[in-house]
Every structure is written in C-alpha cells, then in structure tokens.
C-alpha cells in the first residue's frame, strides 16, 4: 500500500504539473488529464493508496507550480482529491464491474470537484486570502463560480477516466496480473464494456452542457458567465456528445487480450 501510494503520488504530480498552466475560463482551475493515474490506482489497489497518492500528488504539483507549499492546495485540492479517490476505490472494492466503474467515475468527479471548487472559492479565496476580487462578489456569483469550476473539471476529466483508464487497467492486468485483485482481473478481461452505458455516460453530460450553454446565451443565466465560459459549455457539450456517439457506434473501443487462463496455457 505504501509503495502504491508513493507511485500514485509521483505519477500524478508529474502528470498534473505537465498541464498545470492550462487554466479554466475563470482563471483558476487546471486542465488535468492526469486524473487517469489515481483512478487507475483506485481500481487496482483500492481506496487508500489512491486517496493518499492523489492528495500528495496534487499538493506536490501545485506547490511546484507556485514555488512554495501552496495553501490553496492544502485547503481545497488535498481534501477533495483524498475524498474523491477514496470514494472511487471504495465503490469498486470487492465488487468490480464496468457498470460500477461508470458509477464511480461520475459520482467521484461530481462530488470531489464540487468540494474542491467550493473550498477553493469560499475557504481559500474569500476567508483565507480575503481576495478583493472575490470579496466584492455577491454570494450568488461566488456560488455560480464554484459551480462553473465544478463543471469545468468534470467535463475535462470525464473522457479520460472513461476512455483511457479502462485501457490502462487492462494493460496492468496483462502485464502484472499478480498485483491486481482477482475480481478485477477476472471481470476486466472476460467482460466486454457495456457500450450503451459508457456511451450514455458521455452523451448525457454532453447534451446537458449544450443545454446549459444555450441557457447562458438566451436567458438571464448569462450574467453569471463570460464568453469563455459559454464557449466552454458549447465546446465540451459537443465533444462529449460526439465521443458518446462514437463509442456506441464502434464495434469495440477497448483493448482486448487473452485471459489469465489462456496466458498460462500459452506459457506451458
């Protein structure tokens, strides 16, 4: 568990730092495809190594970016990442299935990102820093900013967690099956991904983003967003919707490999 947590933290820190300077339309919040790392460790090694690794990894990446131990990470990103990936691993613990994986992905990205966003805006920016920019905002604007950050992280992380991490899980199962729990090893190799489930997991958020974009353009909700945020809603909605359709129409969208039994037979 210690080795797994350390590896998760190191890989997550490196991956997060590589995209740390790509920010959201609100100027805060980073583009983080490295989320595939703790989601992989949560699936293979369970909740605690992934939670500890994600918390330490995000703290290292944020502190490296700013050049000192970053309090915003300590107050917001660390607790959010710890809770989120502990939840991810706990949902898959002892009862792995691709359906539960989709559930864990959506629930984790929603709850964890919302926690990070609200802690960052209210606890760090308003209470800790007393940032004048945020202090001058009305409460409803602060809430809208937090929700916007939550949506930003959710829609930019979801495709990577749903489309990249399952491939990584199977690669680990093929390469080093001894480190993978039996229920994950057996199910992940023998069971095809439910295309309908994965497709809907991408398509539904995509359609919601398009509706939100239209609402910010043609209703009073537009006062809470800028042109960058509106563009994000339309672009993310279109990308998620297209990915959802592509997943459903393809015959297969995940690597397939021999089961452990076939590998053993081939070795003999």
What pLDDT is stored for residue 255 in this prediction?
A: 47
Q: Which of 172, 175, 174 is nearest to 164 (CA)?
A: 172
Within-domain flag for 20: yes
Taking the model in full, what pTM does it have?
A: 0.86
Query: How buried is 267 (Cβ within 10 angstroms: 0-12 exposed, 13-18 middle, 19+ buried)?
Result: exposed
* Parent domain of 152: 2-193
Query: Could you list the pLDDT tens digit for every one of the 268 residues in the chain?
Result: 999 999 999 999 999 999 999 988 877 888 999 999 999 999 999 999 999 999 999 999 999 999 999 999 999 999 999 999 999 999 998 889 889 999 999 999 999 999 999 999 999 999 999 998 899 999 999 999 999 999 999 999 999 999 999 999 989 988 998 888 888 888 876 666 788 889 999 999 999 999 988 988 888 878 877 788 888 889 999 999 999 999 888 765 554 544 444 444 444 4
Within-domain flag for 246: no
Within-domain flag for 54: yes
For residue 30, list its beta bridge partners.
23
Interior angle at CA 99, CA 96 and CA 101, nearest 5: 60
The domain tally of the chain equals 1
Residue whose entry in the numeric block shows the structure tokens 């209703």: 219
Q: How far is CA 197 from the centre of its chain?
A: 18
Within-domain flag for 229: no
Domain of 47: which CATH number?
Answer: 1.10.1760.20
Q: Which helix (H) or strand (E) is 3 found in, with range?
A: helix 2-18
Within-domain flag for 114: yes
What pLDDT is stored for residue 228 in this prediction?
A: 82
Interior angle at CA 121, CA 115 and CA 123, nearest 5: 80
Can you read off the two tokens belonging to residue 157? 């992380």
- Interatomic CA distance for residues 141 and 60, integer angstroms: 30
Within-domain flag for 209: no
Can you read off the two tokens belonging to residue 108? 């984790």
Within-domain flag for 142: yes
- Interatomic CA distance for residues 70 and 61, integer angstroms: 10
- Interatomic CA distance for residues 56 and 115, integer angstroms: 17
Within-domain flag for 233: no
């Amino acid at each position: 568990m210690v080795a797994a947590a350390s590896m998760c933290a190191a890989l997550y820190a490196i991956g997060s730092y590589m995209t740390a300077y790509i920010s959201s339309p609100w100027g805060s919040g980073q583009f983080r495809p490295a989320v595939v790392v703790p989601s992989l460790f949560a699936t293979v090694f369970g909740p605690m190594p992934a939670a500890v690794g994600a918390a330490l990894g995000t703290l290292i990446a944020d502190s490296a970016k700013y050049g000192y131990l970053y309090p915003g990470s300590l107050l917001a990103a660390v607790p959010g990442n710890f809770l989120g990936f502990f939840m991810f691993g706990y949902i898959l613990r002892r009862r792995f299935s691709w359906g539960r994986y989709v559930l864990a992905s959506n629930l984790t990205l929603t709850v964890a990102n919302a926690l990070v966003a609200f802690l960052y805006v209210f606890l760090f920016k308003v209470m800790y820093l007393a940032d004048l920019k945020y202090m001058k905002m009305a409460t409803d604007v602060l809430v809208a900013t937090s929700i916007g950050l939550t949506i930003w992280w959710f829609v930019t992380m979801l495709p990577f967690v749903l489309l990249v991490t399952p491939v990584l899980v199977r690669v680990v199962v093929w390469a080093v099956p001894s480190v993978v729990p039996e229920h994950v090893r057996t199910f992940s190799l023998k069971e095809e991904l439910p295309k309908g489930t994965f497709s809907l997991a991408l398509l539904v958020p995509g359609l919601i983003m398009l509706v939100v974009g239209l609402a910010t353009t043609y209703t009073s909700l537009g006062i809470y967003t800028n042109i960058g945020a509106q563009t994000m809603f339309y672009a993310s909605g279109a990308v998620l919707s297209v990915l959802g359709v592509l997943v459903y129409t393809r015959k297969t969208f995940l690597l397939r490999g021999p089961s452990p039994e076939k590998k053993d037979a081939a070795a003999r």
